[in-house]
Amino acid sequence: MSIAEKFVSMEYGPAPEDAKEVSAWLDAHGRRFAHFIGGAWAAPTDGEYFETVDPSNGERLAAVAQGSAGDIDAAVKAARAAAPKWQALAPHARAKYLYALARLVQKHSRRLAVLETMDNGKPIRESRDIDIPLVARHFYYHAGWAQILQAEFAEYVPCGVVGQIIPWNFPLLMLAWKIAPALATGNTVVLKPAEFTPLTALAFAEICVEAELPTGVVNIVTGDGRTGEALVKHPDVDKIAFTGSTEVGRAIRAATATSHKKLSLELGGKSPFIVFEDADLDSAVEGLVDGIWFNQGQVCCAGSRLLMQESIAEALIAKVQARMSTLRIGPPLDKAIDIGAIVAGVQLERIRKLVEQGVAEGATCWQPKVSLPGRGFYYPPTLLSNVHPTSIVAQQEIFGPVLAAMTFRTPSEAVELANNTAYGLAACVWSESVNVALQVAAQLKAGVVWVNCTNMFDAACGFGGYRESGYGREGGREGLREYLEPAWVKKLSALSSQPSGKTNALLSAEAVDATANTTSGKEESGDEMESRRSAVDRDPIDRTVKLYIGGKQARPDSGYSMEVRGADGRLLGEAPLGNRKDIRNAVEAARKASGWGKATAHNRAQVLYYCAENLSQRGAEIARRLAEVVGEKQAAAEVEMGIERIFSYAAWADKFDGAVHNPPFRNIAIAMNEAIGTVGVICPREAPLLGFISLVMPALAMGNTVIAVPSEAYPLIAGDLYQVFDTSDVPGGAVNIVTGYVAQLLKTLAEHDDVDALWSFVDEESAAAAKAMSVGNLKQVFTNEGRAIDWFDAKVGEGRWFLEHAVQVKNIWVPYGE
Amino acid sequence: MATDSSLTLNSAHNGEMPTAILAGRPLTRNTGIPLNLDWVREVRVNTSAVERRAQTQTARRTVKKEWQAAWLLRAITCMDLTTLSGDDTDERVRRLCAKGRRPLQSEIVERLGIGELGIRVAAICVYHTFVETALGALEGSGIHVAAVSTGFPAGLSPLAERVAEIRRSVEAGAHEIDVVITRGHVFGGRWQALYDEIAAFKQACGPRHMKVILGTGDLLTLRNVGRASVVAMMAGADFIKTSTGKEPTNATLPVGLVMTRAIREYAQETGMAVGFKPAGGIRTAKQSLDWLGMIKEELGESWMRAEMFRFGASGLLGDIERQLEHFATGRYSAGYRHPLA
pLDDT in tens, A609-618: 999 999 999 9
In a domain, A739, yes or no: yes
Helix axes A717-726, A688-701, angle to 10 degrees: 40
| For residues A94-98, average pLDDT | 98
Residues A233 and A343 in one domain: no
Q: Are A192 and A234 in contact (CB under 8 A)?
A: no
Positive or negative: CA dihedral B9, B10, B11, B13? positive
What per-residue confidence (pLDDT) applies to B340? 82
Model confidence at B107: pLDDT above 70: yes
What per-residue confidence (pLDDT) applies to A1? 74
Contact A11 B67 (CB under 8 A): yes
Positive or negative: CA dihedral A59, A63, A66, A71? negative
Average pLDDT, chain A: 94
Q: How far apart are CA A617 and CA B56, in angstroms?
A: 65
Name the strand (E) or helix (H) holding B178. Answer: strand B176-180
Exposed (0-12), middle (13-18) or buried (19+): which is A226, by Cβ within 10 Å? middle
What per-residue confidence (pLDDT) applies to A542? 81
Q: What is the dihedral of CA A95, A101, A107, A109, to 10 degrees?
A: -130
* SS3 state at A665: coil
Exposed (0-12), middle (13-18) or buried (19+): which is A763, by Cβ within 10 Å? buried
- Choose among B8, B23, B64: nearest Cβ to A13: B64
- Chain B interface includes A11 (CB < 8 A): yes
Residues A588 and A734 in one domain: yes
Nearest CA in chain A to B258: A282
Which phi and psi (to 5°) does residue A508 adopt? -75, 165
Among the candidates A222, A251, A267, a domain finishes at A267
Residues A294 and A157 in one domain: no
A606: region left, alpha or beta (phi > 0 left; psi from -120 to 50 alpha): alpha
Model confidence at A290: pLDDT above 80: yes
| For residues B29-51, average pLDDT | 97
- Choose among A2, A279, A281: nearest Cβ to B113: A2
Q: Which domain holds residue A378?
A: 272-464
| For residues A731-740, average pLDDT | 98
How many interface pairs between A and B have CB atoms less than 8 angstroms apart?
Answer: 108
Residues A687 and A766 in one domain: yes
User: Which chain A residues have a beta carbon less than 8 Å from that of B55?
Assistant: none
Residues A255 and A280 in one domain: no
ipTM above 0.85, yes or no: yes
Contact A12 B63 (CB under 8 A): yes
Contact A666 B48 (CB under 8 A): yes
What per-residue confidence (pLDDT) applies to A517? 38
Nearest CA in chain A to B221: A818
In a domain, A249, yes or no: yes
| For residues A798-813, average pLDDT | 97
Number of residues assigned to chain A: 818
Going by C-alpha positions, the residue among A69, A40, A53, A343 that lies closest to residue A215 is A40
What per-residue confidence (pLDDT) applies to A527? 59
Among the candidates A208, A242, A267, a domain finishes at A267
Of the pLDDT bands very low, low, confident and very high (cuts 50, 70, 90), residue A50 is very high
Residues A208 and A332 in one domain: no
A379: region left, alpha or beta (phi > 0 left; psi from -120 to 50 alpha): beta
Domain boundary assignment for chain B? 29-337
User: Which chain B residues have a beta carbon less than 8 Å from that of A814?
Assistant: none
In a domain, A373, yes or no: yes
Residues A194 and A320 in one domain: no
Q: Which amino acid is it at B23?
A: A
Higher pLDDT, B14 or B115: B115
User: Which chain B residues have a beta carbon less than 8 Å from that of A6?
Assistant: 66-67, 69-70
Residue A141 neighbours by CB under 8 Å, 6+ apart: A180, A459, A460, A475
- Residue A220's DSSP bridge partners are A36, A191
Residues A259 and A291 in one domain: no
Of the pLDDT bands very low, low, confident and very high (cuts 50, 70, 90), residue A490 is confident
Q: How far apart are CA B197 and CA A494, in angstroms?
A: 85
User: Which chain B residues have a beta carbon less than 8 Å from that of A338?
Assistant: 60
Of the pLDDT bands very low, low, confident and very high (cuts 50, 70, 90), residue B3 is very low
- Chain B interface includes A10 (CB < 8 A): yes
In a domain, A470, yes or no: no
- How many domains would you assign to chain A? 3
* CATH for A317: 3.40.309.10
- The vertex-A290 CA angle with B240 and B21, nearest 5°, equals 35
Helix axes A91-107, A199-210, angle to 10 degrees: 130
What per-residue confidence (pLDDT) applies to A538? 60
Nearest CA in chain A to B304: A10
Model confidence at B243: pLDDT above 60: yes
Q: What is the pLDDT of residues A60-92, one digit of tens each?
A: 999 999 999 999 999 999 999 999 999 999 999
Catalytic: A365? no
User: Which chain A residues have a beta carbon less than 8 Å from that of B7?
Assistant: 8
C-alpha pair distances (Å), A211 with each of A132, A222, B284 = 18, 21, 40
Alpha helices (H) along A18-65: 20-28
Q: How far apart are CA A649 and CA A419, in angstroms?
A: 30
The pairing of strands A552-554 and B28-29 is unpaired
- Chain B interface includes A314 (CB < 8 A): no
In a domain, A11, yes or no: no
Q: Which fold has domain B29-337?
A: TIM Barrel (3.20.20)
Residues A656 and A793 in one domain: yes
What's the DSSP call for residue A129? I
Residues A337 and A238 in one domain: no
Contact B49 A287 (CB under 8 A): yes
| For residues A548-568, average pLDDT | 95
pTM greater than the 0.90 cutoff: yes
- Residue A407's DSSP bridge partners are A308
- Residue A447's DSSP bridge partners are none
In a domain, A280, yes or no: yes
Contact B44 A2 (CB under 8 A): no
Residues A33 and A54 in one domain: yes
Contact A8 B3 (CB under 8 A): yes
Residues A221 and A301 in one domain: no
In a domain, A643, yes or no: yes
- Choose among B48, B74, B297: nearest Cβ to A7: B74
- Choose among B4, B48, B117: nearest Cβ to A815: B48
In a domain, A12, yes or no: no
Q: How far apart are CA A252 and CA A232, in angstroms?
A: 7
Question: What stretches of A203-252 adopt beta strand conformation (E)?
Answer: 218-220, 239-243
- Residue A188's DSSP bridge partners are A161
